[in-house]
Amino acid sequence: MKYLIKHILFLLFLTYSSIFFSEGEHKIFDLGDFFLESGVVLPKAKLSYVTHGKLNKEKNNLIVVPSAYLGDHHGFDFLIDKGKALDPNKYFIVATDMFQNGLSSSPSNTEPPFNGPNFPLISTRDNVNAGYRLVTEVFKVKEIYGVVGFSMGAQQAFQWGVSYPDFVKKIVGIAGSAVEYPHGIVRLEGFISAIKADSSFNEGNYKYPPETGLRAGGAHWASWGWSQEWFRLKLYREMGLNNPLEVVSWFEDFVLTWDANNLIALARTWQANNIGNTPGFNGDYVKALASIKAEVLYMPSETDMYFHIDALTKEAQLISGVKLRVIPSLWGHIAGAGFSSEDVEFMNKEIIEFFR
C-alpha cells in the first residue's frame, strides 16, 4: 500500500504540475462533420486543447504540442514555464489531445454508430489536419513557429512538416519515428491481445472495465518502457519503487485509469503510422521525409526499446535541415516523458538552443 500511494502521488504531480504556471482554460474545438483519411465522416467531431501564454501581434509565436500515447495535454508540463524551453512568456503554446485519448472524440465519448469498438480508424494525418484547422480557424495564423512532440506526438510533429511544409518553421521530435516499423507493430499487437484476452472485454462491448486485460496490458508496457540497464541498476528506486514487480504494479495501476477501447484505437493509429502514405508520396517515406522544409531537432533516446536508435538515426539522415541530438539516458522510451531530472535538463537545453 505504501508504494501504491507513492505511485498515485507521483502521477498527480506529473498531471497537475501546471499549477506552477499560467494555463488557459481547457477548451473544445467543434470540428463538425470531420472527413477522415479512411473515407469515413466522423459526426460532431471534437478536438480538446489548452493554451499557455499569448499569441503575439505578428501571430508568429504559436507552438503546437500534440499529446502522446497514454498522455494528454499535460504531457509537456515539465517543459512549460518561465525560462524553460516552452516559455509562455515567449510563445503561445497550444497543447492538443489526440483523437481517442478520451478528451477529444474517442470510442468512450462518441455517440452511436461510432461508439466503443465501432469507432473508425484514425490516422496520424487526421490528428494533424484537425490541429491545422484549430490553429487556422480559431487563432487565424498563417504559420506556426513550431511543433514539439514526444512518442506518438513526435509522429504528429514529423507529419506536420510533410502535410504542411510551408506552414511550420521548426519541428522537435522526441523519442518517436515517422514510420511504425514491423517490430513495433508486433509489440503493439501484443498489448492489444492482452486486453482482448479478458473475457469481459466482449469484443469491446463491455459493461464494466476489463480489469484483468488492462492489468495484463500494463504488465506488457512495463517490460518495454525502460531499458534493461535501468532495471539492472535499480533506477526504479528514483520513482519510489523497491523492485521490478512494483514497476509492473505501477504500470498496471496507470493503465487501469484508461478506457480499453480508447487504448486499442490509439494503438491501431500507432500501428498504421507511415509518413510515406501522405498523399503524393505513394508510400515512399524516404521522399516524404526529404520533403520537410522546416528545421528539425530529432531527439531519440539512446536506450529506447520502442523506437530503436538505429532506425531513428537513419530517419534523421533523410531530413535536410536536421539537428540530431541523442538523449544520453538509461530511462529508455520514458526518457522523453520527463521522469528523470537529467533527461529534462538535456531536453530543455537542446530545445532552447534550437529555438534561438
Question: 5 pLDDT exceeds 60?
Answer: no
Each as own residue / partner, the long-range contacts of residues 261-264 (CB below 8 Å, 24 or more positions apart, any chain) are: 261/107, 261/108, 261/116, 261/117, 261/119, 261/204, 262/100, 262/101, 262/102, 262/106, 262/107, 262/108, 263/70, 263/191, 263/195, 263/214, 263/217, 264/117, 264/192, 264/195, 264/196, 264/204
Residue 4 confidence (pLDDT): 44
Q: Which three cell numbers stand for residue 297?
A: 531537432
pLDDT tens string 125-165: 999 999 999 999 999 999 999 999 999 999 999 999 999 99
Residue 23 confidence (pLDDT): 61
Mean pLDDT of 49-71: 98
Residue 311 confidence (pLDDT): 96
Q: How many domains does the chain have?
A: 1
Q: Which of 304, 329, 340, 343 is catalytic?
A: 304
Question: 197 pLDDT exceeds 90?
Answer: yes
Ramachandran assignment for 70, one of left (phi > 0), alpha (psi -120 to 50 degrees), beta (any other) = left
User: Given the C-alpha cell 535536410, which residue does it identify?
Assistant: 320
3-state class of 28 per DSSP?
strand
Written as one string, the DSSP assignment of 39-60 is S-EEEEEEEEEEEES---TTS-
Q: What CATH number corresponds to the domain at position 220? A: 3.40.50.1820
**Side chain identity at 306, as an amino acid letter?**
Y
Residue 26 is a catalytic residue: no
Question: 347 pLDDT exceeds 60?
Answer: yes
Name the pLDDT band for 17 (thresholds 50, 70, 90).
very low
User: What's the whole-number average pLDDT of the chain?
Assistant: 94
Return the exposure string of 31-64: e unless at least 16 CB atoms fall within 10 Å of the residue's CB, then b: beebebbeeeebeebbbbbbbbbebeeebebbbb
Residue 98 confidence (pLDDT): 98
3-state class of 150 per DSSP?
strand
Residue 7 is a catalytic residue: no
Mean pLDDT of 40-62: 98
Mean pLDDT of 78-102: 98
Mean pLDDT of 316-338: 98
Question: 10 pLDDT exceeds 70?
Answer: no
Mean pLDDT of 17-46: 84
pLDDT tens string 204-240: 999 999 999 999 999 999 999 999 999 999 999 999 9
Full domain range(s) for residue 242: 2-354
Residue 94 has φ and ψ, to the nearest 5°, of -115, 105
Alpha carbon distances (Å) from 90 to 22, 65, 329: 13, 15, 29
Q: Which of 48, 67, 104, 151 is catalytic?
A: 151
Residue 304 is a catalytic residue: yes
pLDDT tens string 235-263: 999 999 999 999 999 999 999 999 999 99
Q: Are 255 and 217 in contact (CB under 8 A)?
A: yes
Q: Which of 73, 74, 220, 333 is catalytic?
A: 333
Task: For residues 217 and 251, give the distance between their C-alpha atoms in angstroms, rounded to a whole number.
Answer: 9
